Amino acid sequence: MLNQAAFQTTITPAEVAELTRLLGEVDEFKGLWRRLGEIRAERLASLRQVTTIESAGSSTRIEGAQLSDDEVARVLQGLRVDSFRERDEAEVRSYAELLQTIFDHHADIPLTENHIKQLHKILLEHVEKDERHRGEYKKLENNVEARHPDGRVEVIFVTATPFDTPRLMTELVAATNEVLASESAHPLVVIARFIVEFLAIHPFQDGNGRLSRALTALLMLRAGYEYVPYASVERVIEENKVQYYHALRTSQTAMRRDPSAFGAWLLFFLRVLQTQKRILAGKLEVERSIVRLTDTQLRVLEFVEKRGRATATEAATHLNIPQRASRYHLGLLVERGLLEAHGERRGRHYTRRMAPPAEVAPGPESRNAAILAEVLERGGSVTRAELLELVDSHKADRRLIGSLHGRRKAHLKRDPKTDHSVLTARGRELAQQFLFAKRLSRHDTLATAGPEGQTQSGPHPNGEAL
């Protein structure tokens, strides 16, 4: 049975400092957002539309879908993109509808099992294959497995059994609501704890990863983080998948021994929110520059944003302006960094300028793991010169070499015969976890129990994120 102590994470003193800084930075932006008044309602609506496109694209691509943001925008306009990717299109539409429901009605959607099941129904609404288990807890096991090149199937993570799932979900929802109501822990810590446990239980046959990201938005909005609909958390996670899977795997494994050992996931989660905040701050600067646009330029910009992509001819026809003026204003918007131009003259079209890569600053844990993974790939042993090269390539302080050879938690040890650095059992485990997360993020070895219990692999596994 979960208690309040499980929501108080166990982390090192250095991590406590980072945790405090990250919470303060995110909460400071939360207060700043509430004081903003210069952004017009129609501009906020446009920002939200862009975020919905990015989030629907990223959240489904994390699980193996193939649609680009440009294609996602067309799907959300009701257009067909590719008959061979019908499932991708259905998942995008469903996820966008789920986000819209949460953005519009979060105040009326408390965290209950019934509401979670209702949201799951929306998530799978357009996917005919999933009709039989929409809004229902899983009836079959959905452990996360890796298929090796030699045909071996290895169970990487054992999720909750179908028998235990209803009880575990009842306990999780009750404990989360209790801690949120008592304010005995910071709401972002509680949300992180809920998500990592939700994904460990894996309560539904399909859609767990996507639903967890939508639930993150719901819980943050209910906790007062009103800016969530205007910058995509899903985009940040997509561009940091290796760290995402690594943090989940590390915490979920440790939590089996100690329910409060979710520090790796918590810090990754907060770094994601920090990156989301920085992206939105950049968007606000763009919005301030939009204030200086002429009425015609603003109409052209909003037309492109609404369509997702548009040509000069389409803008001219829709806005009833000369084609020459349409090209002129589109060119100015490209120069100002608000739009991007694609293709040559006759085939040229314009889209909203994409944000720069949403990279999360790696924590020391993931950086160390990446270095150790390279040592493992070199046979588990490296010379001092090779180790120095690896540390430099990851832009780490060379003093890291000493900590990797530390006495208490050594990941490397010196071989007195060769003076090489050799992986310890602990170092090898961390390296293997990192490589697993890296493989999983590429979707090239993931397999899960199929509808009838057979093992299957491919871009749409039943078990999504760990």
What CATH code is carried by the domain that includes residue 387?
Answer: 1.10.10
Residue with tokens 């071989």: 415
- Contact between 284 and 39 under an 8 Å Cβ cutoff? The reply is yes
The three-state secondary structure class of 269 is helix
Q: How is residue 250 written in tokens?
A: 């590390």
Task: Report pLDDT for 446.
Answer: 40
Mean of the pLDDT values across residues 357-379? 78
CA atoms within 13 A on the CB side of 299: 14
Q: Do 69 and 195 belong to one domain? A: yes
Q: Do 246 and 348 belong to one domain? A: no
Q: Do 310 and 444 belong to one domain? A: no
Burial of 177 (0-12, 13-18, 19+ CB in 10 A): middle
Mean of the pLDDT values across residues 403-414? 80
Nearest partner of 100 among 187, 218, 191, 194, judged by Cα: 218
Assigned domain for 341 exists: yes
Q: Do 275 and 321 belong to one domain? A: no
Task: Report pLDDT for 460.
Answer: 36
Q: Do 234 and 296 belong to one domain? A: no
The residue among 285, 318, 342 that closes a domain is 285
Q: Do 20 and 42 belong to one domain? A: yes
Least confident of 18-22, 132-136, 178-182, 442-446: 442-446
Task: Report pLDDT for 453.
Answer: 34
In terms of C-beta distances under 8 Å and separation of at least 24 residues, what long-range contacts does 101-107 make, across chains too?
102/214, 102/217, 102/218, 102/221, 103/48, 103/217, 103/221, 103/229, 106/217, 106/218, 106/221, 106/222, 107/222
Q: How far apart are CA 60 and CA 54, in angstroms?
A: 10
Predicted confidence band of residue 459 (pLDDT cuts 50, 70, 90): very low
Assigned domain for 315 exists: yes
Pinpoint the alpha helices (H) of 80-164: 86-105, 113-123
Nearest partner of 53 among 38, 31, 75, judged by Cα: 75
Q: How far apart are CA 184 and CA 172, in angstroms?
A: 16
Assigned domain for 464 exists: no
Q: How does pLDDT run across 316-348, given as a tens digit for each residue? A: 999 999 999 999 999 999 888 888 899 877 779
Assigned domain for 449 exists: yes
Task: Report pLDDT for 368.
Answer: 83
Q: Do 200 and 252 belong to one domain? A: yes
Residue 392 is inside which H or E element, if any? helix 384-393
Can you say whether the dihedral through the CA atoms of 160, 162, 168, 170 is positive or negative? Answer: positive
The residue among 268, 285, 302 that closes a domain is 285
Q: Do 386 and 348 belong to one domain? A: no
Q: How far apart are CA 334 and CA 355, in angstroms?
A: 14
Whole-prediction pTM: 0.76
Range of the domain at 297: 292-352
The three-state secondary structure class of 449 is strand
Assigned domain for 152 exists: no
Q: How far apart are CA 10 and CA 25, in angstroms?
A: 21
Assigned domain for 344 exists: yes
Q: How is residue 397 written in tokens?
A: 């302080």
- Contact between 407 and 414 under an 8 Å Cβ cutoff? The reply is no
Percent of the chain at pLDDT exceeding 90: 48
Task: Report pLDDT for 44.
Answer: 84
CATH number at residue 74: 1.10.3290.10
CATH number at residue 296: 1.10.10.10
Compute, in degrees rounded to 10, the torsion defined by CA atoms 122, 229, 47, 45. 70
The 339-342 sheet, strands edge to edge: 309-310, 349-352, 339-342
- Contact between 130 and 86 under an 8 Å Cβ cutoff? The reply is no
Q: How does pLDDT run across 11-42, given as a tens digit for each residue? A: 888 888 899 999 999 999 998 887 776 677 77
Assigned domain for 357 exists: no
Q: Do 450 and 377 belong to one domain? A: yes
Q: Do 439 and 377 belong to one domain? A: yes
The residue among 352, 378, 393 that closes a domain is 352
Q: Do 259 and 334 belong to one domain? A: no
Q: Do 84 and 210 belong to one domain? A: yes
**Alpha-carbon Rg of the chain, whole angstroms?**
24
Assigned domain for 176 exists: yes
Q: How far apart are CA 352 and CA 73, in angstroms?
A: 11
Residue 40 φ then ψ, to 5°: -70, 155
- Asked if residue 62 has pLDDT above 50, the reply is yes
Any idea what DSSP says for residue 81?
Answer: -
Q: How does pLDDT run across 278-291, given as a tens digit for each residue? A: 999 888 877 777 76
> How many structural domains comprise the chain?
3
Q: How does pLDDT run across 76-112, given as a tens digit for each residue? A: 887 766 655 788 899 999 999 999 999 999 999 999 9
